[in-house]
């Protein structure tokens, strides 16, 4: 189920990006390069602007719905795994025994702030 929703989500994202790049902005002539000028006869007298806008809004709605669906499926799976104690507890790393090596101890500085000399 998760993979299917994710596939639709990615496909919708790519389509939204493509539609936004193809649409003609205010005063821009880039849309004419993709046939926007000749599309008035195909899509009606208003041109492809409203059709592409409505298609983009619809795909954006599908994108948001799949986003919520992916979140819902992921949280449902997480809660099921948590109830089954599948989530591994934190186990601190074990340290080596300190008695194995003798470390040279440095005396603490005196109250006057002098740093003691090392032996």
pTM value is 0.52
- Report pLDDT digits (tens) over 56-109: 999 999 999 999 999 999 888 888 777 676 555 666 777 766 555 555 666 666
Report the C-alpha gap between 61 and 3 in whole angstroms: 19
Angle of helix 49-83 relative to helix 2-22, nearest 10 degrees, comes to 150
Which sign, positive or negative, has the C-alpha torsion 24, 29, 34, 40?
positive
Structural domain boundaries in the chain:
2-22+35-83
Burial of 19 (C-beta count, 10 Å sphere; 0-12/13-18/19+): middle
CB 70 within 8 A of CB 5: yes
């Amino acid at each position: 189920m998760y993979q299917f929703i994710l596939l639709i989500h990615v496909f919708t994202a790519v389509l939204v990006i493509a539609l936004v790049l193809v649409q003609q902005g205010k005063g821009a002539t880039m849309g004419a390069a993709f046939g926007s000028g000749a599309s008035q006869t195909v899509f009606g007298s208003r041109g492809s602007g409203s059709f592409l806008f409505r298609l983009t809004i619809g795909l954006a709605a599908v994108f948001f719905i799949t986003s919520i669906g992916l979140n819902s499926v992921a949280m449902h799976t997480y809660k099921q795994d948590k109830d089954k104690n599948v989530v591994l507890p934190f186990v601190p790393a074990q340290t080596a025994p300190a008695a194995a090596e003798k470390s040279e101890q440095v005396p603490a500085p005196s109250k006057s702030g002098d740093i003691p000399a090392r032996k």
